[in-house]
Amino acid sequence: MNHYLDLSDEVQKAFHSQQPVVALESTIISHGMPYPQNVETAREVEQIIRDNGAVPATIAILDGKIKVGLSDEELNELGTRTDIAKASRKDLPYLLANQKSGATTVAATMICAELAGIRLFVTGGIGGVHREAETTMDISADLEELAQSNVGVICAGAKSILDLGLTLEYLETKGVPVIGYQTETLPAFFTRSSPYSVHFRTESPKQIADTLKAKWELGLEGGAVIANPIPENTALDESFINRIIDDAISQAKRRGVTGKDVTPFLLSEVNRQTEGKSLEANISLIKSNAELGARVAVEYYLQ
């Protein structure tokens, strides 16, 4: 696979010196936030990981290469170009074979991280089972990837635009542990809690790292969800955000928005209706996840 992978100097040095490395996705840059907040946040998140003892590896597809670790210029390119594809599992072969560029989703980032030998990955929130999936069959590829790629995903739970109950059922069926960090309930991205319980509660980064190590040493293939609630000072009221999400979903139906366009549409509409509060929350939670992800990576690599 080496001819597809292009590791930055910083990431290569980290591997050679056995430093902990944390993967980051790029869809949040190209499709998740407006410019310039997207690029500013990406740089700040990378620095948080460095400040907590690990090395960041933002992953993207650029000109037919899997870039593991991006320069400032490449981050800016992802944040400003309008022709960057949204790259999931199904898209990777085409983009690589045809020298095209794409921002990696959770699923694609997990694939690329595992290829590069990275065990920990930080994102905002995972995809999941969409509401009314019993008729639309709209289920994120993130869940299937979690079932087969050996990468721990630190996130603020599943996006609150989803059916959280069915998402948890799917993960349980696939044997993917959902580990709460200092919480017994699943965070719902913009909110710290939901009506649903995580599988296990942990109190420290070391406890998370030990759990991941035991999982993979037992030969239990697949990843794990490490659910880290959004910081209290930026969390949104549950009833407030749910009303807005319900309205955004109704608008998506009326406009005929389907498939991979649903999530960007809903997040954009939620940001508009919250007058930017949801964007502030999104930035806050990804920074919090980056700090936890770096701390878990340090503990994991110390073993």
Annotated catalytic residue within 25, 46, 77, 145:
25
Tokens representing 219 are: 């030969």
- 280 catalytic? Reply is no
Annotated catalytic residue within 46, 159, 269, 291:
159
Q: Which residues of 49-69 are buried (b: 16+ CB within 10 A; e: fewer)?
A: beebebbbbbbbbbeebbbbb
Residue 191's φ and ψ, nearest 5 degrees, are: -120, 155
- 25 catalytic? Reply is yes
Q: Active-site residue numbers?
A: 25, 159
